[in-house]
Amino acid sequence: MVRKQNPGDDEKESRDVTLIVADIIKQADFGRGIVRLDPEIMKQLDLTSGDYLRIYGSRVTHCRVMPSVSMDVGTRYIRMDKIVKGNAGVRTGDKVRVRPVDIGEASKVVLAPQDHMIRVAPDFHTWVKRRLLDFAVTKGDVVLIPIFQRFISLIVVSLTPGTYGKIGPNTIIEVRESPVELARVVLPTITYEDIGGLREEIQRIREMVELPLRHPELFRHLGIDPPKGVLLYGPPGTGKTLLA
């Protein structure tokens, strides 16, 4: 017998697996509310693109799942951006338990800004709904809405029915103007983990910037001065501003 987890939602046959949290590869995945799985694990769990997954970190969240790249086969990686990591309460390298789940459409989702008041235009709810269509959301999650080349972070204040669901065509979206007081829900800062590609460049920057800060004793032992700064150069569109 299937055990009910949320009104209108069914948990699939218990098929928990433990996976390793890894960073996203494609920058385009940032803010999409998805995770990418080792293709072998997707077969094992009988998952297809767009199915839903429950993630058990220090808190529970839900996401759509997509297949990862071929190089992830056999790695047991679950790739997620910083927003999903924050929603699940995990970090890169952590082990998390996941389970396939069928999620019903929420009839209503209430969102509120995280830090400051916003002015909600009459058509803003429509834009938010279009952006979040098919998203799995859990009470307390942070979601990002792109506005004029930047993101607004909104907190999922409540859902009807239950505490999680997916946003569908019939979901009513309410966006409040006043910030919500959920001290435990903090939008993680965007870090190098959320930049897809530029692996060699990021590694060089880590060596030149982070190493002297974290291990100054190495430079003292060698009798050399740490780097004073980093100059990023290259043609437009290669990621200099993103790295900075």
Cβ–Cβ contacts within 10 Å for residue 126, how many? 11
192 contacts 206 by C-beta, under 8 angstroms: yes
**Residue 183 — very low, low, confident or very high, per pLDDT cuts 50/70/90?**
very low
By three-state DSSP, how is residue 136 classified?
strand
- Type of residue found at 96: V
Structural domains present in the chain:
4-102 (2.40.40.20), 108-175 (3.10.330.10), 198-243 (no CATH)
Share of the chain above pLDDT 90, in %: 39
Mean pLDDT score across all residues of the chain:
81
Write the CA distances from 193 to 54, 182, 187, integer angstroms. Answer: 22, 25, 15
Do 108 and 165 form a contact (C-beta atoms < 8 A)?
Answer: no
Q: Which of 39, 178, 12, 164 is nearest to 101 (CA)?
A: 12
Tokens of 9: 């939602």
Peptide linkage before 161 cis (omega within 30 of 0): yes
Condensed to tens digits (0 to 9), the pLDDT of residues 199-243 reads 777 777 777 777 777 677 777 777 887 777 777 777 766 666 666
Q: What is the pTM of this model?
A: 0.68
Residue at 239: amino acid letter: G
